[in-house]
Structure 1
């Protein structure tokens, strides 16, 4: 229950049996930087870049893992990450009814 102060502002009910809280209307997924998906994505991107740098053409052979192929793999990883975040967010609008 809220009570009006003389200044006209409202304070939350702080009785011992109830903790003050705001009402949630729907659930929400974690922010992207708090998920393991982002960490896995960043590790995979760094792995592709390092592999592209390390694998090269030695002893007269052609370069097996050129930069254009590395960037193609990074684009594919990015699309996969965006799709996974989109799927995570699409199912997050369930009504929140925990009491």
Structure 2
């Protein structure tokens, strides 16, 4: 009653009853995850906010300057990107390798 490893893929295994079962160590593709969707929505929100928000007398002593500048918006996009990359790294780090079974 030994388990044989299929030569088709290192993630395929033939069980004792002869059924080939796929054991995969990978997480979902990045674009299928909820954190990717949240990342895209937040990036679009930051960029749209930087376009829409201006300082025309709305709380900034009447100077009329740009209240949410493009460099600030891109800084926030970079921070969001770092957070997204860290979350994907943690998701990948939490998966088991096929040899852990």
TM-score by length of 1: 0.69
Q: Which has the higher contact order (CA 8 A, sep 6+)?
A: 1
Larger radius of gyration: 1
CA deviations over 1:4-30 (Å, ceiling 9, x no partner):
xxxxxxxxxxxxxx7853442x53211
In the alignment, structure 1 segments of 5+ residues that lack a partner are 1-17
Instruction: Select the residue among 62, 66, 79 that pairs with 1:76.
Output: 79
In the alignment, structure 2 segments of 5+ residues that lack a partner are 1-16, 58-62
CA deviations over 1:27-77 (Å, ceiling 9, x no partner):
321110110110000000000000000001325422110000000000000
Instruction: Select the residue among 36, 39, 47 that pairs with 1:38.
Output: 36
Report the secondary structure of 2:20's partner residue: coil
**CA root-mean-square deviation:** 2.1
The count of corresponding residues between Structure 1 and Structure 2 is 79
Report the secondary structure of 1:46's partner residue: helix
